[in-house]
Amino acid sequence: MKFSCHSDQFQKALSIVDKAISTRSSVNVLEYVFLNVKENKLTLIGNDLEIGIKHSIPVDAMDQEGEILVKSKTILSIMGRLQNHPVTIETVDNILKIKSEKVDFEILGLSTNDYPQFPKVNEGYRFPIKIEELKDLIKKTIFSVSFDETKQFLNGILIKNEPEHLSFISTDGFRLSLKQKKCEGIENEFSAIVPFKAMNEVSKIIQTLPQEESIHINISEKQVAFFIGETTFLSRLIEGQFPDYRQVMPSESVHSYSIPRKLLLDASERAQIIAAESNNVVRFNFFDNELVIKSNANALGEFKEGIDVNRESGEGDSKIAFNVKLILDAIKNLDDEDLVMKFSSEVSPCVIQPKNESDYTYIIMPIRTNDFQETGA
């Protein structure tokens, strides 16, 4: 094969499929990218047997078609150092020759005979979604995914179609994230657990694309496919029964407070400095119009800060303790100026929601207060 293009165009295409290139596989060919030239189109494929990515770009094929496997990391590094220059690439036997001005590379490649076939997209339920909506759905749920390999059904995000809305749900047993989107035209009911890796890589691919454009998602019994422009992204689904999130959502809460998000974020980050030395425990003490956040560590010291809040329901003072990292994960990924925190007691689940975003719910389990040892007032 022989074709020409610009190095940055090739590099961008390589960086997309490289997300599906294995770096620690016992199968050597999975470290290689599949290149195929046909009819002035270069198709690149990465496949680590868990996810597969196919991406195409236009090139000048010079009437020479063909295919080859090349070490992905090597060719990606080369393209990144050619400073957006035109390149001519051709194969001679299993050698890939790269020429750009006075630069010449000859890279040993492999035959494509032993490369795994790119999975066929199974027939399933296909629906469109705007890129900005998908990005938001992933952003507000992916941080709650569990990495406990003994509970693989928690190692991804549940996509579930329910009456009038699409839900993304994740949990690690200590907290749960639920983001819903009203949708029209999605009639079939379905649910699928999409692995963390797949969701994370899809999120990276769509970051720089026009946010108002739409992509398509196809969900079948054991596979999910994302069609993103000239990119096809396939992943296996996680098998297993995802827990019913409705069972952990409080039906009502005694105490409810409106809190400025930025003030809560800054105070929690300061509290973490000390809490990091005491299992990340922070204690929230609520009064009518003030939240006092405390953390301490016997071998380090203590922290205390008050911020103004507005009580929305309940009476009297209240207290509750959390793992500060779980608090920070949520508020760092929210955008509203004000948050609402709701709970009934120091041992009941706490609900955190953006004040003006009713379709997002974050539930965090508290730490029992006797696990928090105070050293001062």
Domain residue ranges of the chain, discontinuous segments joined by +: 2-114, 128-246, 250-371
Q: Which residues contact 159 (CB under 8 A, 6 or more apart)?
A: 166, 167, 168, 190, 191, 192, 193, 194, 217, 219, 224
**3-class SS of residue 41:** strand
The whole-angstrom separation of Cα 316 and Cα 255 is 9
Q: What's the pLDDT at 251?
A: 87
Residues 119, 229: Cα–Cα separation, whole Å? 18
Q: Taking a C-beta distance cutoff of 8 angstroms, is the pair 153, 241 a contact?
A: yes
Count the neighbouring beta carbons within 10 Å of the beta carbon of residue 205: 20
Place of tokens 């022989």: 2
Distance CA 292, CA 267 (A): 10
Altogether, the residues listed in the chain come to a count of 377
Q: Measured at the alpha carbon of residue 231, what is the angle toward residues 228 and 235, in degrees to the nearest 5?
A: 90
Classified as helix, coil or strand, 13 is: helix
Q: From CA 83, how far away is CA 77, in angstroms rounded? A: 11
Q: Please provide residue 362's backbone torsions phi and psi, each rounded to the nearest 5 degrees.
A: -120, 125
CA distance 60 to 42: 9
pLDDT of residue 185: 64
Q: What fold characterizes domain 2-114? A: DNA Polymerase III; Chain A, domain 2 (3.10.150)
The angle at the Cα of 300, spanning 296 to 302, to the nearest 5 degrees, equals 30
pLDDT confidence of residue 369: 58
Task: For residues 329 and 140, give the distance between their C-alpha atoms in angstroms, rounded to a whole number.
Answer: 9
Task: Please list the helix, strand and coil fractions of the chain in percent, rounded to the nearest 5, in that order.
Answer: 25, 45, 35
Which pLDDT score, from 0 to 100, does residue 37 have?
A: 96
Residue 119 DSSP label: P
- Residue type, position 33, single letter: V
Q: Does domain 128-246 have CATH number 3.10.150.10?
A: yes
Rounded Cα distance between 216 and 229, Å, is 9
Q: What is the pLDDT along the chain (377 residues), one digit of tens a residue?
A: 999 999 999 999 999 999 999 887 788 999 999 999 999 999 999 999 999 999 999 999 887 889 999 999 999 999 999 988 899 999 999 999 999 988 999 999 999 999 999 999 999 999 999 999 999 999 999 999 999 999 999 999 999 998 778 999 999 999 999 999 987 667 778 899 999 999 999 999 999 889 899 999 999 999 999 999 999 999 999 999 999 988 888 889 999 999 999 999 999 999 999 999 999 999 999 998 999 999 999 999 999 999 999 999 999 999 999 999 999 999 999 999 999 999 999 999 999 999 998 899 999 999 985 644 444 43
Whether the domain at 2-114 and the domain at 128-246 fall into the same CATH topology? yes
Domain 250-371, second-level architecture = Roll (3.10)
pLDDT at 248: 86
Q: What are phi and psi of 45, to 5 degrees?
A: -135, 135
pTM: 0.92
Nearest CA among 287, 324, 292, 286 for reference residue 307: 292
Q: What is the pLDDT of residue 23?
A: 83
